[in-house]
Amino acid sequence: MRIRFHLVMFMLSVVLWINAQERDSMKVVRLGDVSVSASYEKRMIRNTALPVDVVGEPFLRERFTGNLIQTLEHIPGVHSMNIGAGFSKPVIRGMGFNRISVIENGIKQEGQQWGIDHGLEIDAFNTERVTVRKGPASLLYGSDAMGGTIEITQRFPEPGNYLFGEAALLGKSINGTVGGSALIGIKKEAWYARFRYSEQRFGDYRIPADTIVYLTQRLPVYGRKLKNTAGLERDMSLYTEYRKGRYSSNYAVSNAYQKVGFFPGTHGIPDMTRLQDDGSHRNIELPFSTVNHLKATTHQQYMRSAATGYLDAGYQRNDREELSRFHTHYDNQAIPEKEPDRELAFSLETYSLSAKIKHIPSTVWEHTAGWDVQHQRNRISGYSFLLPEYRRFTTGLFWLGSWYPAGKDFSVSGGARYDYGKMDVSPYRDGYLESYLADRGYGGEVIERYAWRSVPVNRRFGDFSGSLGLSWHPGNREIHLVKVNIGHSFRLPGAYELTANGVHHGAFRHEQGDPSLSSEQGWQLDLSYTYREKGVSFSASPYAAWFGNYIFLRPTGEWSVLPHAGQIYRYTGAEALFAGAEITFGIDFRPDLNYTLTGEYVYTLNLDEHIPLSFSPPASMRNTLTWTGKNIRAYAEWQSVASQNRVARNEDPTRGAHLLHAGATVDIRIGKAMAEIALLFQNILDTRYYNHLSFYRKVEIPEPGRNVQLLIKVPFKSNIK
């Protein structure tokens, strides 16, 4: 389906027309300020012993980048592992990949998240509220949440019967982004439904550099633009909700499509001729990738007496292709007769089911029991090979109890969970590579080690996880909040960690798995203290975690015998330690002027070798000054990122940087409509810096330079009978 961007412009016209035609049916009455203490945010923070951050539409609009994870970077402890073309993966307290679960409408987002170059296929325009849980969340969400969760939820619809909608426009200078989103919906009695369409198109990325380095070869960057990094994103979603009496349900269908070019200097065989400027900064040529993520979910809920039952079910299909003009490192590999440009293709199907019962027998006790199951199947094709075909099955049972003693200023919560998992991986032997190595005189041992790109694996895993926590308001006052939580978690190794053996172009290295890896297991301790009173706030969240078998990519220092492969990185299990803290301090100098300081630090240690773990985020700090007027809110921010010299063996350090950002949001009335305008200035000084978590730093590609972004939203609402 190729609906063009002018649909957004049409929707904008419709919004303005509807607002202009709407008659005043009642007088406008301005009420005084109302304080709502039992907000969703406060309830979430108070009722869990883990550190939790809840952000709503004001935060998401002010920090909006068109990329959800980059928007959430402003939360202490959350990082964005960028892939250089506007897509990124979440990292919480130094943990990423399959240790962080992203949940939308009650179902875990499942795609090819094992790879750094595989971003999340989620519409950033379609997020209304995000809850970030830091620390072990395996008890409720399974083994893939041992590092935390990012949960995307929708607001409850306002009462009444009405039509509503929104038109949004987005523009960025860094890569010429032109994007937008259109929303239309209706609330009628017990029914609520909405449809959203979003699209973004962007050109080649600007970087503050004239050259990059790939496998010791210096390559030019003409015009300081990464050639063929243009792309597009197209998202559609339909959401329907029904609420009546004790029963409620929702149904959601979404489809996310992305097409992004690869910089030709870092894909395939390096060739200087492919780097020449072709005169266009918006075309997408080979090589490029396409991703299509289809998701259908439903949530069912029924309340009866002191018990509530929940049922969540979902189906996902993630299709990813990497297309590149046929190239081979082996003389005996012929061009495929069909689809000769399809280098890699993955098709992952996921079926999910979760059932929970919450029982509240009294005012002091609350119990939740649940069961979930998931089945995955991954199919592959293409003239190259990276990931094997596999089947994965997981299931888990859990119980969580909470005690809120009457008249006391504390609550206690804890629970236990058991998970069982099965991984069945198909073998793959590369005959072309086998002949290539034999022709160059390599012996049988070397050939066996490299020719088996994936060995057969049929493994079973099972283990317990649990947590016990305390939440305490000293003196029954909201001024102080103390939390303590200790948890045990585990994670099943993924197919790639077990079987990888070859060049991963997106990460610029040869990666090898280990089929004998055991599941990750660890203990995590989280503490937090929060103070809020009279315009002053302070919070500190120290934590520590120990893992007996932490799986990570270890730089081996060995040079791969494969052509254009570089250093070998091997998935290895080791005893590891994580420790760190996040702090936030805020003060209102005046009712309209606020200063906020946020900082974070992560310490990692490979206890087997007494060296840091690779890809550990550096310490960072943000100083933000915010002024709030009647219909305007403006801020200036000084971000400091420390140098990361605590690196693993054979890992390069990364220099620190100081960055200046600014932004403003303004509400302007246009006829009957109230337009929301957000202006964002990023890296104002055009500082050249590197993200230690970005694999593009390995080829000396810095982060984007100066960027100016404009976001305009025009919502509308019209009452109906």
* 513 falls within a domain: yes
More confident of the two residues 705 and 270: 705
CATH number at residue 629: 2.40.170.20
pLDDT per residue as tens digits for the range 54-105: 888 888 888 888 788 888 888 998 988 765 555 677 889 988 878 888 999 8
pLDDT tens-digit readout, 275-286 = 778 888 899 988
Mean pLDDT, all residues of the chain: 86
Specify if 28 maps to a domain.
no
The closest of 671, 642, 674 to 659, measured between CA atoms, is 642
In three-state form (DSSP H/G/I as H, E/B as E, the rest C), the secondary structure along 645-671 is CCCCCCCCCECCEEEEEEEEEEEEEEC
Residue pair 471/491 in contact (Cβ under 8 Å)? The answer is: no
Closest CA to 50 of 484, 522, 524, 410: 484
N-to-C CA span, the chain: 34
Report residue 119 as tokens: 């971003």
Can you give the residue range of the structural domain that contains 443?
6-22+39-719
pLDDT band of 254, cuts 50, 70, 90:
very high
- pLDDT higher than 80, residue 9: no
> CA 419: distance to chain centroid?
24
Looking at the DSSP bridge assignments, the partners of residue 396 are: 372, 419
Is 489 within the bounds of a domain?
yes
Closest among 339, 175, 182 to 260, alpha carbons compared: 175
The answer to whether residue 691 is domain-embedded is: yes
Strands 390-403 and 88-92: what pairing? Answer: unpaired
Measured in residues, the chain has a length of 721
- Per-residue pLDDT tens over the stretch 518-554: 999 899 999 999 999 989 999 999 999 999 999 988 8
Domain presence at residue 174: yes
Q: pLDDT tens digit string along 485-528?
A: 999 988 889 888 898 887 776 566 788 889 999 999 899 999 99
**Would you say residue 179 lies in a domain?**
yes
Task: Evaluate whether residue 479 is within a structural domain.
Answer: yes
pLDDT tens for each residue of 621-670: 999 999 999 899 999 999 999 999 999 887 889 999 999 999 999 999 88
In this structure, is residue 249 part of a structural domain? yes
Number of structural domains the chain divides into: 1
* Residues 6 or more apart whose Cβ sits within 8 Å of residue 405: 364, 411
Q: Given pLDDT bands bounded at 50, 70 and 90, which one contains residue 25?
A: very low
Higher-pLDDT residue of 359 and 266 is 359
What is the pLDDT, as a whole number, of residue 676? Answer: 92
pLDDT(431) > 50: yes
